[in-house]
Chain A
Amino acid sequence: DVKVTQSSRYLVKRTGEKVFLECVQDMDHENMFWYRQDPGLGLRLIYFSYDVKMKEKGDIPEGYSVSREKKERFSLILESASTNQTSMYLCASSLEFGEAFFGQGTRLTVV
């Protein structure tokens, strides 16, 4: 079974803090993704990576950066958290041309 693990289920951070969301997959997938899910907006792609040290902007990259130093790990960084970044964050991984497998999600609240 593919396992995608996100480091936290729930996080509460203060405005202006630097926030790290970590994601690890155990199936040697080339591709990894970060999405956020908001009511009425569905899942929106923030960044994705198709190889180590490679990254591509998704639809809403502003205010975020990513890091992929190892194939199995993909980190999402909020440089200076703001209240409009309160959301459910979902990490996913996939093989080339395969379906994406998601982690359990991180509910981030910025106060």
Chain B
Amino acid sequence: DQQVKQNSPSLSVQEGRISILNCDYTNSMFDYFLWYKKYPAEGPTFLISISSIKDKNEDGRFTVFLNKSAKHLSLHIVPSQPGDSAVYFCAAKVVRVGNEKLTFGTGTRLTIIP
């Protein structure tokens, strides 16, 4: 039962353009969402997060949008740069004491074309 889904295994975008990565979830109890970036042979690194009380969070070139009614979030990268080529995972959790379990999606491989 995949509670967090990334339906696009891969995405190619021209350098300088916008990259949009999508994520859907099925568990309506999730109230905190995160995006991680992973290079080959390295561990994932945290990028940006959003709480369910917001619908947008921005950090530099990265913006995450949350649509709770559609159970959908997206990560926008503008402008895309070659160093953005990596696998991106979205993750979700239910925020409550003693529960730090993150549920991850299957990942989207982003390739930025110079």
> Hey, which bits of chain A sit against chain B, CB under 8 A?
4, 9, 31, 33, 35, 40-45, 48, 50, 56, 58, 90, 92, 94, 96-97, 99-105, 107
Contact = CB atoms under 8 A, between A and B. Distances in A.
A101 B9 CA distance: 24
B100 interface: yes
Interface of B: 4, 6, 9, 34, 36, 41-46, 49, 89, 91, 95, 97-98, 100-107
Given A41-B106, A42-B106, A43-B89, A58 B101 contact: yes
Contact of B34 (A45, A58, A90, A99): A99
Given A105-B42, A105-B43, A100 B98 contact: no
Contact of A42 (B95, B97, B105): B105
A4 B42 CA distance: 12
B101 A40 contact: no
The 3 closest A-B pairs by CB, nearest first: A102-B43, A42-B106, A43-B104
